């Protein structure tokens, strides 16, 4: 497992990378929520009351920051996170 600090304008996020058999499971955690890769399920995050946004087709933290958000929980929407924005923009709103 790799843990990395990711500096953003509003604060420092925590990136978690877990090597699976073929691809990595990636999560970047901000103060009020997290950005997830395609391995994880937005419906599960919603049911658990989490603030989350999902990006797909990523292989690194940098990819996640540049990728477009494809799904969000209602709690993320309340912070202004919307599909179509970049992962970086979504994380900035989660601080």
* 89-to-5, 22, 30, 75 alpha-carbon distances in Å: 17, 28, 12, 16
| pLDDT for 85 | 98
18 — pLDDT class (breaks 50, 70, 90):
very high
Q: What is the pTM of this model?
A: 0.96
d(Cα 9, Cα 42) in Å, to the nearest integer?
Answer: 25
| pLDDT for 89 | 98
Q: What average pLDDT does the structure give for the chain?
A: 97
Smallest Cα–Cα separation from 88: which of 4, 6, 5?
A: 6
Q: Which domains does the chain have, with CATH numbers?
A: 2-92 (3.30.1980.10)
Judge contact between 57 and 39, C-beta under 8 A. Answer: no
| pLDDT for 79 | 98
d(Cα 49, Cα 40) in Å, to the nearest integer?
Answer: 15
Residue 44: count of CB within 10 angstroms of its CB: 11
């Amino acid at each position: 497992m790799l843990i990395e600090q990711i500096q953003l304008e509003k604060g420092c996020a925590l990136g978690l990378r877990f090597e699976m058999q073929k691809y990595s499971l990636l999560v970047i955690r901000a103060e009020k929520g997290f950005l997830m890769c395609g391995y994880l399920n937005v419906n599960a995050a919603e049911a658990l009351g989490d603030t989350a946004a999902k990006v797909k087709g990523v292989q690194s933290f940098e990819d996640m920051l540049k990728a477009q958000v494809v799904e969000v929980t209602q709690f993320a929407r309340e912070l202004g996170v919307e599909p179509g924005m970049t992962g970086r923009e979504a994380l900035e709103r989660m601080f």
